[in-house]
């Protein structure tokens, strides 16, 4: 991915932090601070690379500079918020109140003015991670005859285990995380496949069709995954 760097350490189970900042000195500083046994660090040097990395890496926290050379940070926040609730902490030299309000109104979770202390930054990151975990779905989701155990990665219908592909599982988990809420085609495509697939809605339709055949009693008249014509899909919550 041009414009983005990823640590080569084996950090599969660590919280993923994405730094989007055009200043090499800042990225180096944050790399030193965050590339430890506590976090997995990914970096992007401009806005477009940052958006691509956010979709591909699916970070747990984004650290975002507002003054990027290609896209304003406020625009990046708005674009990310179209498809992801990932915590966004702004790190910026802009210290005017209206800049902070604009960033927070756009969907940022926190705002630190450069220069900042390492201890404060770490505390803000940990707080963002705690809030994110509190917003996560319950370990077991039940809707009618459909049960999804997120801990065991197990899906059953009428007490029979259903074998899903990794992509089908990710789609269902995304729908479960937003159960009862309409997710647009673009939101699902961005979250599951990344922004490169935004113009390929047929990929989503095929996977939704396959998923329905596995979890619906009558795939032609779905009870769980319903279509919102021209918009997207919604996972119903059934008694």
pLDDT tens for 19-64 read: 999 999 999 999 988 876 688 899 999 999 999 999 888 899 999 9
Structure confidence at residue 83 (pLDDT): 86
Specify the residue for token string 């990344």.
194
Structure confidence at residue 91 (pLDDT): 94
Q: How far is it, in rounded angstroms, from Cα 236 to Cα 33? A: 43
Structure confidence at residue 6 (pLDDT): 46
pLDDT at residue 9 greater than cutoff 60:
no
For the segment 129-153, the average pLDDT, to the nearest whole number, is 81
Q: How far is it, in rounded angstroms, from Cα 140 to Cα 53? A: 30
Number of neighbouring beta carbons within 10 Å of residue 99: 18
Average predicted confidence (pLDDT) for the chain: 87
Give tens-digit pLDDT for 73-108.
Answer: 999 999 998 888 899 999 998 878 778 888 887 888
Pick the CATH number of 140-235 from 1.10.10.10, 2.40.128.260, 3.40.605.10, 1.20.1530.20: 1.10.10.10
Predicted TM-score of the model (pTM) = 0.57
Q: Which of 37-41, 68-72, 165-169 has the lowest mean pLDDT?
A: 37-41
Question: Which residues are 141's β-sheet partners?
Answer: 148
Structure tokens that stand for 129 in this block: 């991670």
Specify the residue for token string 């990151």.
125
Number of neighbouring beta carbons within 10 Å of residue 136: 9
Q: Where along the chain do its domains lie?
A: 4-134, 140-235
Dihedral class, residue 158 (left if φ above 0, else alpha if ψ from -120 to 50, else beta) = left
pLDDT at residue 185 greater than cutoff 90:
no
CATH class of the domain whose range is 4-134: alpha beta
Number of neighbouring beta carbons within 10 Å of residue 86: 19
């Amino acid at each position: 991915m041009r414009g983005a760097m990823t640590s080569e350490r084996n950090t599969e189970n660590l919280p993923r932090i994405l730094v989007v900042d055009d200043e090499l000195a800042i990225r180096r500083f944050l790399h030193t601070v965050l590339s430890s046994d506590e976090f997995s660090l990914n970096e992007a040097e401009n806005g477009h690379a940052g958006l691509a990395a956010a979709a591909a890496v699916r970070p747990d926290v984004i650290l975002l500079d507002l003054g990027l050379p290609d896209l304003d940070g406020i625009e990046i926040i708005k674009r990310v918020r179209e498809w992801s609730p990932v915590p966004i902490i702004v790190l910026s030299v802009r210290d005017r109140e209206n800049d902070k309000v604009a960033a927070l109104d756009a969907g940022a979770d926190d705002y630190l003015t450069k220069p900042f202390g390492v201890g404060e930054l770490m505390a803000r990151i940990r707080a963002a991670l705690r809030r994110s975990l509190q917003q996560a779905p319950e370990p077991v989701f039940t809707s009618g005859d459909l049960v999804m155990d997120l801990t065991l990665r197990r899906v059953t219908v009428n007490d029979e285990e259903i074998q899903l592909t990794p992509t089908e599982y990710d789609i269902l988990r995304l729908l479960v995380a937003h159960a009862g809420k309409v997710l647009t085609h673009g939101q699902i495509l961005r979250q599951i496949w990344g922004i490169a697939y935004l113009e390929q809605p047929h990929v989503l339709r095929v996977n939704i069709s396959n998923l329905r055949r596995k979890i619906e009693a009558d795939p032609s008249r779905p009870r769980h995954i319903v279509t919102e014509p021209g918009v997207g899909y919604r996972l119903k919550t059934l008694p």
